[in-house]
Structure 1
């Protein structure tokens, strides 16, 4: 077909002949298929179901995972707490120097812990309480006064208190005190407790005893009495066979007189010999300390010199007025006096008097004794004598 020279379509031909319509554009609201969704009709394969998401897992799995995580945290936490507790229980404590701490009677574990923290023995009272309950559940914590060393751990502190090894003090009872005077001395000791009855005269052994704070005075007296019983039994078994004393009680009575007559240990066997010799000869003992005890009893001290009236006044104990031994001891004699009476020196002395040096001059005859008395008077040099000395002092 011939075309026109100006390129226009032949007259009467439709304008869209030979043209193609553009493809239809999908609406903007249409969404693409989700990733992984089944593609229907692809090569004739059936559609596959979509994979479930994490949020769609079974509830039991989720709960189990949570429980496991919780238990893991619990066990880790318990491990850390146990490690810290064990470390705090055994590591060195805060003390930098030895310290004595009193745990009072009736104190519970919490009370003890707070006292120890306040005194700087432990860092934290909770560690002490927990350590005792968990680490030392069988520990029997005892009241008392304890010495703690520098850097002592909580475990060691608990062991110290459970051991009952309290701090020990000393109380010394001198020879020659009456039982009433012994009790007074114990009453003056603030470490001890209780108000005891006065024991029988001569039943206590003067000695140095170990005591602890809070100990009762009755306990101390019981120790003294037991010590005296044991010692007296030993001494009585080894006594000289020719003694003029017939029983352990009489031995204690004579020893108490010897004890009051001299404070020098080396003189006791000599003084004992004088009294034993006088008893063998049926002579009165004529001991000044027996006059005093007959007047004041357990108080022990007359508070003034002995007068002639005192010497002449008869009492059950005044050996100027009675024959033989008094009815009982006039004090608590020590071991040296007891031993001296049980085995006195073999002498013929019947008299003694003070010699001005703290000791005594001894004599076999009255004439020699009177010379010793005159010498003593000269030493006194004008001091008013309490009384004319008797035959034994």
Structure 2
């Protein structure tokens, strides 16, 4: 009898184990298989949320088929305690395993709202934008000039969100004075910048920052990036360039940056200045004269006067020989690369051609014809 009872108990135990194993396998398939989410969503995880509340919310919105399985899977993989606050892109059909990985992997938001403080050559702009989960592209919510525009009422609501990301973007060709002055209006930064950074020492780039980041620390990062970039490009420079130092390369790059906004022209424009330096010709470039007038403190806002073209300053390349005293702006990677690897040409002159680009010439006679065509275009535009 006892032997029969023991045999039945063992049989029952075996059945229970088989059923339990089957249940585990079913749960694992549910955890790793594609989920029911039909369209991508931006999942916002508030500070202090735990895996239980998150799993219930995911079940309520139809992102997962079973909240309990998600919780158990997170516990089994030892990820429950790794949940981070932020906004995360969850694509359609994401499995529970993928969702848990997304919200615990590194804590960095992959969608949601971003504040981008753009510093341009003529103005700054605060742009709030959100990721559209369907296209995975940013869509502008609002924008304004912090120096001249009234702050939109909606800005305050976004500004205080815990998952808001912050970014500072520098355009190519901004001056160091402009950067420091505009950063004063970035209300999500803290601290002051004691000394004006050397012209040309800041890398035009996009910088992700945290709320309350130190302005001086951000400036230091901009300088470090420009130093690394210049050193790397200097090592790959052409042989025989009339540039004796990285500083001279930076000066010439800043001139190229201010002379053309056409990417395809940079190496050609650089070739004109390199050819002039090799022949001992003055560079005769208007942006250097403008810098001598403004010293980088904002755009000139008008045309140059003849008296300014004749006035001697350390930057007026119509008057001085060779390169100006310092860079005249902060050049980007493309302009630095252009002066260290210019096109091989015989061009010595260029002038605007009316299309946004320039007409290049080898001789003064040819250049004068190009200038006459440009003057005619200017006259026709003025008449219209």
Q: TM-score range by the shorter chain?
A: 0.5 to 0.7
1:308 pairs with one of 306, 309, 320: 306
The 5-angstrom pairing of residues 1-393 of structure 1 reads 90=31, 95-103=37-45, 121=63, 136=78, 139-150=81-92, 152=94, 156-164=98-106, 166-167=109-110, 174-179=171-176, 194=189, 200-206=198-204, 228-298=226-296, 300-381=298-379
Counterparts of 1:314 and 1:336, CA distance in 2: 30
1:163 Cα shift? 0.8
Deviations 1:85-107 (A, max 9, x none): x79x9498774421112335676
Counterparts of 1:184 and 1:133, CA distance in 2: 50
Scaled by the length of structure 1, the TM-score of the pair is: 0.58
Q: 1:147 is paired with a residue of what secondary structure?
A: strand
1:225 Cα shift? 5.5
Compared CA separation, residues 376 and 327, structure 1 to 2 (3 A): same
1:263 Cα shift? 2.2
Counterparts of 2:45 and 2:184, CA distance in 1: 22
Q: 1:167 is paired with a residue of what secondary structure?
A: coil
1:254 Cα shift? 0.3
1:369 Cα shift? 3.2
- Answer with 240-249 or 164-173: which moved more: 164-173
Compared CA separation, residues 118 and 285, structure 1 to 2 (3 A): farther
Compared CA separation, residues 220 and 112, structure 1 to 2 (3 A): farther
Q: Which residue of 2 aligns with 1:15?
A: none
RMSD: 5.0
Q: 1:381 is paired with a residue of what secondary structure?
A: helix
Compared CA separation, residues 336 and 152, structure 1 to 2 (3 A): closer
- Answer with 90-99 or 243-252: which moved more: 90-99
1:257 Cα shift? 0.3
Counterparts of 2:180 and 2:69, CA distance in 1: 44
1:289 Cα shift? 1.2
1:195 Cα shift? 5.5
1:253 Cα shift? 1.3
Counterparts of 1:320 and 1:366, CA distance in 2: 16
Q: 1:145 is paired with a residue of what secondary structure?
A: strand
Equivalent residues of 1:97, 1:150 under 8 A apart: yes
Deviations 1:86-133 (A, max 9, x none): 79x949877442111233567666786687678765689898778756
Equivalent residues of 2:178, 2:297 under 8 A apart: yes
Q: Which residue of 1 aligns with 2:131?
A: none
Counterparts of 2:267 and 2:360, CA distance in 1: 12
1:146 Cα shift? 0.9
Larger Rg: 1
Counterparts of 1:125 and 1:147, CA distance in 2: 19
Equivalent residues of 1:139, 1:159 under 8 A apart: no
Equivalent residues of 2:241, 2:340 under 8 A apart: yes
Q: 2:82 is paired with a residue of what secondary structure?
A: coil
1:135 Cα shift? 5.7
1:287 Cα shift? 1.4
